[in-house]
Structure 1
């Protein structure tokens, strides 16, 4: 990748979670900027907690990932600030104002942003109507429509870049896929999500477990896998305890080998539960994107009709948040694995096209390069 120094003033990324290696999309995106712009630095409020682990993996960037104790509070060093999520843009807003420095931020769903909430709307108004705002990047049509229809920002201030940033390694030669009945004797179904609320209701974990209990008696060789902050104490799994494996939270290095043995990922997430009537996920979720890039069949909900690029039954399977109906659909593919593998292969091709790392990042870089 070509690097550039631009002017002597710096692009400063301000964040509350980086350089934690488990925040994979941040690592991928911020590393891209660190590599592309020699005048880029990242300032983190969690620097001390994660720096050593990050520096061991990415020593080439360690000198430009810094604690806020090294921040130039005069503001004279910085040409532009950048953050992801409303929570960060709002929390660091005092820095933008104090240093009188322009900023760009990326408004993903979550991270302090949800709809129909007076306090959140006030934060949106503060940052979106700031004279220091250069651009806001939005990744979902629903987000774009909300901030435009509410009159929070004019369209010329919005860069709509559908999708998200995932790991560039996932677009390279993946681990060799293991096929049911050819390379392995089990049919493997996984659930991958972070835990944000009891029972994982927002991510549909309870639906997944109910689905597992319905599928287990139908076929003895179907196995279930859970990655994320869930374990056997969240919901009783005693009746399938010899068929389900819990892996806990994992960083991105875990997944290529893991997904090589998976046939289906199930993501029955439901909007407006984590924050009642207000919160929603992007479509598809990050776990679905990562699984699809590894040739895993994606079975996911789309209750807000956010799908813009995929065809049900061809390269993705849209499910209702109903365990019995999901189980019924999966058993059809279990009985016809070649049909499943055709859909997952077409899905891998389509997901690679839509979420191509360089395409996603070059669009973001083009926004920043207008102002640095």
Structure 2
């Protein structure tokens, strides 16, 4: 069965075990359908939902938990709610498990990711409720894929569809150039909401740019050896670098371990931490110098891709790390993130990456200068004004039209 139709069938089978009705005594302003909450391992998502709960009167998050088990840190629903409340109190008190019967009476229904939109947009239609969504990279969104395009056309043609937020320039161009969506309904907000306060208030080691070189890889593994995220390139680069210098330590945050190493002789130079919360991973990032992100599109699936830069790169930059990353869709030029000034553009060739790392290792002033310049640029791009306030304005307009 064709990929897109198979995924849609699975999603609908999951959804159809539930009932969604209007309780006319309880009306929300915004109803959000989600799949991972109340996990504390998706901070950028929590930041957006927290802001919506804070800025609008009645916001409810309905979670189906279908990916929660992968990101619950081994803790149950209630324990995650308690942990989430420490940083996101408004959100934590407005999350409800999807049950057998669910109230969907709301002025606006909102989804993030293609998969959640596919699963639940028909509920908005059935209940004659306006809806909007954010089309992030991932979540089943495939470029130049017949099934995905047909599904998007169907969603965009709904009379209840009011708008889509995208966070990459090339995605906006894609939707408009292929006549999938009307241009005035596509809202571009580059990047994702980030907590720009937690990281910058942390104290970093005074010798951060003077001691051993500390290089971090920060991503989750979705396929063997994490090749889509570039872990194969990362460890090949590590093997080459260790032959040139022993004063280097490699840190891996995410669901990787020593079994993912192709060259076990480098194990003594690697620290594997597993999946960490935002409070935990900041403690690692404040000690590292470089985040290497040689991720590659069209590996997880022939039409799949990642956004630029990954949210993990942003977290690392906020903690004074140089971003070394691929940029296959040239997004950096659109946001004026300049190569060799604010970050370092890399390809998937370990030898090429090696030479750039050696250059930074030999010139620690350059290392620090790029890290701090990049951080300044990131703080501007991911500021509250450009992330949260823009989203709030869009939702105010959507609600006024509902």
TM-score interval, normalised by the smaller of the two chains: over 0.9
Q: Where does residue 68 of structure 1 map in the other structure?
A: 98
Alpha-carbon distance, 1:200 to partner: 1.1
Alpha-carbon distance, 1:181 to partner: 6.7
The alignment partner of 2:366 has SS state of helix
Q: Where does residue 17 of structure 2 map in the other structure?
A: none
Alignment check: 8 A CA contact 1:11 1:81 kept: yes
Query: What is the alpha-carbon distance in structure 2 between the residues aligned to residue 51 and residue 364 of structure 1?
Result: 29
Q: What 5-or-longer segments of structure 2 have no aligned partner?
A: 1-25, 70-75
Query: What is the alpha-carbon distance in structure 1 between the residues aligned to residue 64 and residue 364 of structure 2?
Result: 47
Q: 1:273 to 1:371 in 2, by over 3 A?
A: same
Query: What is the alpha-carbon distance in structure 2 between the residues aligned to residue 288 and residue 210 of structure 1?
Result: 20
CA offsets, 1:5-44, max 9 Å, x none? xx96421111111111111211111111112223111110
Alpha-carbon distance, 1:294 to partner: 1.0
Alpha-carbon distance, 1:142 to partner: 1.2
Alpha-carbon distance, 1:104 to partner: 1.0
Alpha-carbon distance, 1:129 to partner: 1.5
The two structures have a TM-score, normalised by structure 1, of: 0.92
Aligned length in residues: 361
* Alignment partner of 1:287 is 2:320: no
CA offsets, 1:113-152, max 9 Å, x none? 0111122112211211111111100111111111111111
Match of residue 146, structure 1, among 166, 169, 174: 174
- Which of 210-219 and 250-259 deviates more? 250-259
The alignment partner of 1:239 has SS state of helix
Which aligned pairs between 1:230-309 and structure 2 lie closer than 5 A?
230-276=256-302, 278-307=303-332, 308=334, 309=336
Query: What is the alpha-carbon distance in structure 2 between the residues aligned to residue 252 and residue 70 of structure 1?
Result: 33
Q: Where does residue 204 of structure 1 map in the other structure?
A: 230
Q: Where does residue 21 of structure 1 map in the other structure?
A: 40
Q: Where does residue 117 of structure 1 map in the other structure?
A: 145
Query: What is the alpha-carbon distance in structure 2 between the residues aligned to residue 253 and residue 148 of structure 1?
Result: 39
The alignment partner of 2:258 has SS state of coil
The alignment partner of 1:41 has SS state of strand
RMSD between superposed Cα atoms in Å = 1.9
Alignment check: 8 A CA contact 2:292 2:324 kept: yes
CA offsets, 1:186-214, max 9 Å, x none? 21011101111112111110000000000
Q: Where does residue 11 of structure 1 map in the other structure?
A: 30
Q: Where does residue 12 of structure 2 map in the other structure?
A: none
Q: 1:247 to 1:117 in 2, by over 3 A?
A: same
